[in-house]
């Protein structure tokens, strides 16, 4: 939509709103309004859309009889977030606190619906409550769940615990689904007057226990894409398998420069390679990134599909790639011994790790070795003789890389960058798709040096193009809200910690100091989690807002164009600047394009992260289901008024519900953040080591239940299989 069209639409909306604000206006139905305003038949869909927008904006409301009027002063519009226990909250833009909606006040609203509410009279000491007066727009139109078949009808039990009703399926709408199958169902009627919502089955995903069905169900639940459409695959097939001679013309030839890729053992989309030389006074670091933009042209089918996906999604048994495998694992992957087109950030640094100069160039590269993190760590940390002999020509370069990596870490620490070193889970599946083992993902010298080099390249490119004053896409992480910081300060004070917050402002260095003071102490994981929860979520923006967590003024994502669309997007901008093609027309093009790209890619990133977390929780529950009754050691990772969260060394977290703490009556003390026994005075604090027995695990609800183990139980089962990870 052009600016002129947008302006015209806003003027028309204003006419409608002004009419309803007139003192002589009487509430009317849509048809009556259309007649009064002389809306033609062709314009009625647009008119209806404008009414809907005004409703969503909270400017107007509609009565139970379908009559439109100006919204009353107490009417608010927001998104309804249902809770599995029946109540919910409404998120309202511009309002810091969500409005609590009791179950009896939800009036047919489902999770993610856009609703109109009015506030209920305030009660002393209670949070703000409201009642839903109208559902403006349904947020969920399809559900994924388990089909249960009766003789003449069936039900779909939703996987999403927040969708609080089973979906009635008439027999003729079952699409041949068998009892217990995982299905996708479309909601055809949301139900009224206590009736269940009704729907029809669109897709039978598979039998509940078939390998891979569980992860496919998550993909459908989050709306993640499956196979690439045929036309996109055909477009990808037209791309050559190797870099042709004519494509190398005009590029800096770095094929003789010793370089390696360092990735996980299972990685196939290798989008970055590194090189390093040292002359005694200057480090010359090269970060070489696959030139995906050479093959994925702006506006092509491949480009639109990549933008729609936004990012690759990683599950234990599969990857949902942003680009077809022909590109992601083929011509765009920096495979060993093959000529590849790249965009290289070539940097010179002094003996203290200060950046002296840099340039970004279109290059041709040829990777000498495809290394793994495990191999490089074996050389640097263990001096493994076999590995050192196998990779002898590269060992001096790896040692220099580690040296430079430490200098870069020292620089980031000095300026206040925060390092949240939470262990991630590595979930190993057997041939049936079941979790065979769960381990904390290792972080070593090799993973750190690649992380350090990528961070440096991202910062360097962001600062360079910020000062060139061209439209660009940045990775922004804003400072925490003052309210969150005050809450953090209150929580950590009970452990004897404090942070300086002059004028309700906090600096990254203060968070860094807090984590350093807690390092090595029992409460360290808890302090780190509380600090992380106080942070805002990083996102993509058109403006350069800086990165709070990295304490960086300039930051972007440049190094992963195979799996992240923002990186691909800025590669195009960089190349237009390098070729002096950033005309005023192109500037205006990007000024219009980039806000939408930022919003879309921030959204797809959040969806991918939520889906990955959901699968991790599901697989962890599947793993612990086989260990019911076993004894494990862990630490208290969270405390609420309904129990203790306990995390095991392999990253699995479960709950000890207060109702299962039978040796005393325990109460949560909000002021100190702990749980104390009324009779015995026994206190449980964050970070305390505890021994638990696995009580239950439910992959459907993604929950794991523990009970505190007695001393005689621990002695009787110590050394069992569940203790192996300790």
Q: What angle do CA 119, 120, 124 make, to 5 degrees?
A: 115
pLDDT attached to residue 725: 35
**Which segments of 578-677 are extended strands (E)?**
631-640, 643-647, 653-657, 666-669, 674-677
pLDDT attached to residue 719: 36
pLDDT tens-digit series, residues 648-691: 999 999 999 999 999 999 999 887 788 999 999 999 988 889 99
Q: Which of 613, 619, 655 is nearest to 313 (CA)?
A: 613
The helix or strand, by DSSP H or E, that contains position 273, with its residue range, turns out to be strand 272-278
Mean pLDDT of the chain: 91
The more confident residue out of 714 and 586 is 586
pLDDT attached to residue 301: 97
Report helix, strand or coil for 470.
Answer: coil
Helix (H), strand (E), coil (C) string for 229-253: CHHHHHHHHCCCCCCCHHHHCCCEE
Q: In percent, how much of the chain has pLDDT > 70? A: 97
Mean pLDDT of 318-336: 96
DSSP 537-579: PPEEESS---BTTTTBSS----S-TTTBHHHHHHHHHHHHHHT
pLDDT attached to residue 74: 65
Q: Residue 109 pLDDT more than 90? A: yes
Q: Residue 53 pLDDT more than 90? A: no
Structure tokens at 280: 């005694």
Q: How far apart are CA 394 and CA 593, in angstroms?
A: 44
Q: Residue 525 pLDDT more than 50? A: yes
Mean pLDDT of 349-370: 98
pLDDT attached to residue 506: 86
pLDDT attached to residue 382: 93
Q: How far apart are CA 185 and CA 171, in angstroms?
A: 13
pLDDT tens-digit series, residues 164-184: 999 999 999 999 999 999 999
Percentages of the chain per state (helix, strand, coil), in multiples of 5? 35, 25, 40
pLDDT tens-digit series, residues 11-43: 889 899 889 888 788 889 999 999 998 999 888
pLDDT attached to residue 723: 33
Q: Residue 421 pLDDT more than 80? A: no
| Contact call for residues 147 and 199 (beta carbons, < 8 A) | no
Q: Residue 513 pLDDT more than 80? A: yes
Q: How far apart are CA 344 and CA 106, in angstroms?
A: 55
DSSP secondary-structure letter at 174?
S
Q: How far apart are CA 326 and CA 333, in angstroms?
A: 10
| Tally of CA atoms within 13 A in the half-sphere of 524 that contains its CB | 14
pLDDT tens-digit series, residues 618-633: 999 999 999 999 999 9
DSSP secondary-structure letter at 121?
P
Structure tokens at 321: 């790639």
Q: In percent, how much of the chain has pLDDT > 90? A: 70
Report helix, strand or coil for 496.
Answer: coil
Residue reference for tokens 């209806």: 48
Report helix, strand or coil for 592.
Answer: helix
pLDDT attached to residue 690: 95
Number of H helices, E strands in the chain: 18, 33
Q: Which domains does the chain have, with CATH numbers?
A: 1-72 (1.10.10.10), 142-210 (2.40.50.700), 230-475+551-612 (no CATH), 479-535 (no CATH), 627-723 (2.40.50.140)
Beta bridge mates, 556: none
pLDDT tens-digit series, residues 152-166: 999 999 998 899 999
| Contact call for residues 573 and 465 (beta carbons, < 8 A) | yes
Of 27-41, 282-296, 357-371, give the lowest mean pLDDT range.
27-41
Q: How far apart are CA 630 and CA 706, in angstroms?
A: 10
**Which segments of 367-513 are extended strands (E)?**
369-372, 425-429, 435-440, 474-476
The helix or strand, by DSSP H or E, that contains position 526, with its residue range, turns out to be helix 524-533
Q: How far apart are CA 375 and CA 450, in angstroms?
A: 14
pLDDT attached to residue 716: 46
pLDDT attached to residue 537: 92
Q: Band the pLDDT of 459: cuts 50, 70, 90.
A: very high
pLDDT attached to residue 718: 42
Q: How far apart are CA 399 and CA 277, in angstroms?
A: 11
How many beta carbons lie within 10 A of that of residue 146, not counting itself?
19
Of 344-358, 408-422, 517-531, 562-576, give the lowest mean pLDDT range.
517-531
Sequence-separated (6 or more) residues with CB below 8 Å from residue 177 = 147, 149, 154, 183, 201, 204
pLDDT attached to residue 72: 67
pLDDT attached to residue 712: 59
pLDDT attached to residue 67: 86
Backbone φ, ψ for residue 459 (5° rounding): -65, -45
pLDDT attached to residue 720: 34
Q: Residue 722 pLDDT more than 70? A: no
pLDDT tens-digit series, residues 56-96: 777 887 876 788 888 765 678 899 999 998 999 999 887 77
Q: How far apart are CA 509 and CA 514, in angstroms?
A: 9
């Amino acid at each position: 939509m052009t600016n002129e069209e947008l302006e015209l639409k806003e003027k028309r909306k204003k006419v409608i709103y002004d009419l309803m604000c007139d003192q002589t206006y009487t509430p009317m139905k849509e048809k009556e309004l259309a007649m009064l305003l002389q809306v033609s038949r062709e314009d009625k869909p647009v008119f209806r859309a404008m009414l809907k927008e005004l409703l969503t904006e909270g400017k107007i409301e509609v009565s139970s009889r379908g009559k439109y009027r100006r919204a009353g002063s107490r009417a608010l519009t927001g998104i309804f977030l249902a809770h599995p226990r029946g109540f919910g909250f409404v998120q309202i833009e511009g309002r810091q606190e969500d409005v609590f909606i009791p179950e009896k006040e939800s009036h047919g609203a489902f999770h993610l619906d856009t609703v109109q509410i009015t506030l209920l009279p305030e009660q002393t000491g209670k949070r703000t409550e409201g009642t839903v007066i109208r559902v403006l727009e349904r947020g969920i139109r399809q559900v994924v769940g388990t089909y249960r078949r009766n003789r003449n009808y069936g039900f779909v039990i939703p996987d999403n615990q927040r969708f609080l009703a089973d979906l009635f399926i008439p027999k003729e709408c079952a699409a041949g689904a068998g009892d217990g199958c995982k299905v996708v169902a479309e909601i055809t009627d949301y139900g009224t007057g206590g009736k269940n919502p009704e729907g029809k089955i669109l897709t039978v995903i598979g039998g509940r226990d078939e390998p891979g069905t569980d992860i496919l169900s998550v993909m459908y639940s989050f709306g993640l894409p499956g196979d690439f459409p045929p036309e996109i695959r055909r477009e990808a097939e037209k791309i050559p398998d190797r870099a042709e001679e004519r494509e190398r013309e005009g590029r800096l030839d770095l094929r003789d420069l010793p370089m390696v890729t360092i990735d996980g053992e299972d990685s196939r989309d290798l989008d970055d390679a590194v090189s390093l030389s040292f002359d005694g006074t200057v480090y010359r670091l090269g970060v070489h990134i696959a030139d995906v933009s050479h093959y994925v042209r702006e506006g092509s089918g491949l480009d639109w599909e990549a933008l729609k996906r936004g990012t690759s999604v990683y599950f234990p048994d599969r990857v949902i790639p942003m680009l077809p495998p022909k590109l992601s694992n083929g011509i765009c992957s920096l495979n060993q011994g093959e000529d590849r087109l790249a965009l290289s950030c070539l940097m010179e640094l002094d003996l203290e790790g200060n950046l002296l100069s840099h340039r970004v160039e279109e290059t041709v590269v040829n990777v000498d070795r495809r290394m793994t993190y495990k191999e490089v760590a074996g050389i640097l940390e263990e001096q493994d003789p076999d590995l050192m002999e196998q990779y002898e020509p590269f060992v001096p370069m790896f040692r220099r890389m580690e040296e430079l990596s430490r200098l870069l870490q020292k620089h980031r620490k000095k300026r206040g960058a925060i390092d949240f070193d939470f262990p991630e889970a590595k979930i190993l599946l057997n041939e049936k798709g079941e979790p065979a083992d769960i381990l904390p993902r290792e972080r070593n010298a090799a993973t750190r040096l690649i992380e350090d080099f990528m961070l440096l390249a991202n910062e360097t490119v962001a600062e360079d193009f910020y000062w060139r004053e061209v439209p660009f896409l940045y990775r922004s992480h804003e400072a925490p809200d003052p309210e969150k910081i005050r809450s953090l300060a209150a929580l950590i004070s009970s452990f004897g910690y404090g942070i300086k917050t002059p004028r309700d402002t906090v600096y990254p260095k203060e968070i860094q100091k807090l984590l350093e003071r807690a390092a090595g102490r029992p409460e360290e994981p808890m302090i780190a989690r509380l600090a992380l929860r106080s942070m805002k979520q990083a996102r993509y923006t058109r403006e350069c807002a800086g990165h709070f967590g990295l304490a960086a003024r300039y930051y972007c994502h440049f190094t992963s164009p195979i799996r992240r669309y923002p990186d691909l997007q800025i590669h195009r901008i960089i190349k237009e600047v390098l070729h002096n093609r950033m005309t005023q027309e192109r500037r205006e093009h990007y000024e219009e394009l980039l806000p939408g790209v930022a919003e879309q890619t921030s959204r797809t990133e959040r969806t991918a992260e939520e889906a990955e977390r959901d699968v991790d929780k599901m697989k962890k529950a599947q793993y612990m289901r086989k260990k019911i009754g076993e004894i494990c050691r862990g630490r208290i990772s969270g405390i609420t008024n309904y129990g203790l969260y306990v995390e095991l060394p392999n990253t699995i977290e479960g709950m000890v519900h207060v109702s299962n703490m039978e040796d005393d009556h325990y109460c949560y003390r909000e002021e100190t953040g702990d749980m104390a026994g009324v009779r015995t005075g026994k206190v449980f604090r964050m970070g305390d080591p505890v021994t638990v027995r696995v009580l239950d695990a439910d992959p459907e609800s993604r929950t794991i239940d523990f009970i505190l183990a007695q001393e005689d139980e621990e002695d009787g089962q110590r050394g069992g299989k569940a203790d192996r990870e300790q």
